[in-house]
Amino acid sequence: MRIVDHPILGKIKERKKVFIEVDGKKIEAYEGEPIAAALLAAGIRVFRFTAKEKEPRGVFCAIGRCTDCIMTVDGIPNVRTCVTPVRDGMKIKTQVGLGKWEQK
């Protein structure tokens, strides 16, 4: 959910709206915001599944430290979505295990 108005920070700034694709589904995002923020805003909280136990993982630290939020972005696995900015047309995939490099 987006925090449109805020008692201290005021109304959210106008930003350029773009679209990204998450597991084939188109979602709205704002250019420059971290991928993780766009996904959380869209209500997506499961970002990947672990290699052995296939357990779900999502955002934990949001500052690029813990690597829990990694996904496959434009064919590149293990991208820290909390510190990687959104670009229009990005293709994001829920990652399973170590992920795979994909041909572009």
Partner 1 sequence: MLNEQTILNKVKTSPGYPSKERFFKGPVAVIECPEEIPCNPCEEACPFGAIKVGEPITNLPMLIEDKCIGCGKCIANCPGLAIFLVNLNYSKDEATISIPYEFIPLPDVGEEVDVLNREGKFVCKGKVIKVNKGEDHTWVITVSIPKEFFEVARNIKPLK
Partner 2 sequence: MKEAEITVIGAGPAGLSAAIEAAKYGANVEIIDENALPGGQLFKQIHKFFGSKEHYAGTRGYDIGRKLLSEAENLKVVIKLNTVAFGVFDKNKIGLFDQKDILISKPKKIIIATGASENPLAFPGWTLPGVMGAGAVQTMINIHRVLPGKKVLMVGAGNVGLIVSYQLLQAGADVVAIVEAMPKIGGYFVHAAKVLRMGVPILTSHTIIEAKGEKEVESATIAALDQNWNLIKGSEKELDVDLICIAVGLKPEADLCRMLNCEFTYVPFLGGRIPLHNEDMETTIPGVYVAGDVSGVEEASVAIEEGRIAGISAAESLGYISEEESEKERMKCKNRLKAFRIGPFGSPRQEGKNKVFEEYKRRTKNVK
Residues at the interface with partner 1 (CB under 8 A): 5-8
Q: Mask: binding to partner 2, 45-64, rule CB under 8 A, as x and -? A: xxx-------xxxxxxxxxx
CA quadruple 73, 4, 57, 94: dihedral sign: negative
Q: Which CA distances in Å does 101 have to 18, 32, 34? A: 25, 24, 21
For partner 1, the closer of residues 8 and 24 by Cβ is: 8
Q: How far is the CB of 9 from partner 2 (least distance, A)?
A: 6
Q: Which CA distances in Å does 71 have to 93, 95, 97? A: 6, 5, 10
Residues that bind partner 2 (CB under 8 A): 1-4, 6-9, 12, 33-34, 36-37, 40-41, 45-47, 55-66, 68, 82-83, 85
